[in-house]
Chains A and B, each alone.
Chain A
Amino acid sequence: MITVVDLTKHFFVGPKRIVAVDRLSFRVRAGEVYGLMGPNGAGKTTTLWMVLGVLKPTSGYAEVGGYRSTEVPEAVKARLGLLSASAGVYPWLTPRETLFYFADLYKVPPETAKGAVEHISRKLGISGYLDQRCATLSTGQKQRVNLARALIHDPDIMLLDEPTRGLDVIGSKVIFDYVRDLRELGKAVIVCTHRLDEAQRLCDRFGLLHRGRLWHEGTLGELQQRTGRASLTEMFLQFVEEDPDGRAAVK
């Protein structure tokens, strides 16, 4: 469903070139939750933006449902839902207005949008404050509104970038429960997080990123067998100690 091939992104800060993502390749199938793991600055968000077609790769490509994100970004965007920790809400709009606005952006017919708003609101428990200005909502409530916003067009694939940052236990649980539901519905999900414990419970397969390069890829069992470490946290600490500059290739 998602194919990433040799995806590379360079940024220029003045004359200096920074390699944010370096020849990254992976695949995510339908009904699979893929964890893109790594410390801050590993290149997770940049990868997601390139998959989405918002950021142009320096080389390589990402394909979503057969469409290349550089060639037909709008077709790719229409198939994707994005939930990011840094995403905000419109303070002067209500959640209902926000959801209808995004339904329009995603070209969801008004009648379908009406049903979708009711369904998602019930599912995520936001019906109680659907007509309240977003400025008055708590952090957890805002994140639920954002999740609803990302799902309003019923996307085939969800990209979750640090979806539980700043959320309490209950807020995190709502997000995780929904991710499991998405898997059961046959959707492909990419979760980017540096909270490795969370990911360990949620993801089917993992890609471990460091300094823009993919270190290891596989299921938890495969990674445990390969590294001899029990948890993702231990694996990461070992990799960083062994290869602080991130020169290692994918294994």
Chain B
Amino acid sequence: MQPEAPEYEQSSTARVLPPVQPRKLAKVPFVELADGRLQGVVSSGSDIARVYVSSVEAGSHDYSCSTNNNRPCGGAGSYGTCKHVDALITEAVVQYGLRPVARYLRVELPEEGEPGAWELRRAMNGTLNRTEAAVVFSRFLHHLSYLELPVSTSPMVELNWFPAAGVTA
């Protein structure tokens, strides 16, 4: 539902970000739509100290997957995406919803029926095109660093602009 324009434009607490849906983070701790890509970090299934940085580019749908130390993922090849990229897409759909992810990646979804993450993946036919893992990995570390911030007891008038959103928003 599109908000009424003048009311939205003249509201101090107009909502810009849609609510994030809860999801399990063990497999894919970090997902974002940024820098023209769906990108994120996928935990390795076999080595708890290893993570993969996976991404899909908007428009071309070219994908990339490598460890945070830039070692290419063996699963991602010219014949298709690896399980890390697949998991990234699945979790992004849980977090943001199917249509917002499709819109960002510029994927045409069928109007009819109830398409899911599978239809989204099938509609993409990019090829392997490795990108630097370092940028996304450092964004993930920055993301995690918020949990390390000390708690604060200062008054924060600013947060009156940020009321917690309910489900009925």
Q: A and B: partners? A: no
